[in-house]
Structure 1
């Protein structure tokens, strides 16, 4: 008897290595962002891609707020082309970070998504910066 897991065979190791290695070029996680911040090794710009009110209700420390819909060559002109942007949104249920990453990549910037977003950050036990307390921490993307 074959389990549901094995009904579709796993990829050969060489292909799995390539796949999972490639994923890491597109993603980082909350723990790595937090660890980099704690070590003072922040060589990236952390961007909360949600709307301003969601950002004010709670955002990752050190993040700036640039909603994805506002990412243009003009709004990013102050950043050199080599700037690594790390984007996040509300969480895995939101694709605002993906949309922002597409815009950043199209503008020629290196970009990674902080997987998990605000939900992942809180799941790790890390605190958010709060500027105003009201409502839920949602997307508004």
Structure 2
């Protein structure tokens, strides 16, 4: 499994990462990136990141958190995982992998590598190319 950033990092490292992705390392972006990447690979919603930022005394609005997450995604620093079109998670692991969605817990976890094979993909529409395929397998505790 590849990691987007080392678990232990400095503000300077985060600033360099943002610059390399073509983003200006503003104070809010640096603070949010430090919170995002401080725990290794994980799946987080904008609301949860906002709560963590408030707890860390980072003065940021929910709208700014959403905007920053989308900027990080467009820059290739995060991967967006949409569930049912109603809930969006942001994955700090941007490698090509699939997910389980645990119903009832509203939690996304990485599927072990190599556990799914997809063949016979359809042709992309004219002038388009397939970028990647997202597979989300919904699971829940067994009902006895």
* Higher relative contact order structure (alpha carbons within 8 Å, sequence separation ≥ 6): 1
Q: TM-score, normalised by structure 1?
A: 0.26
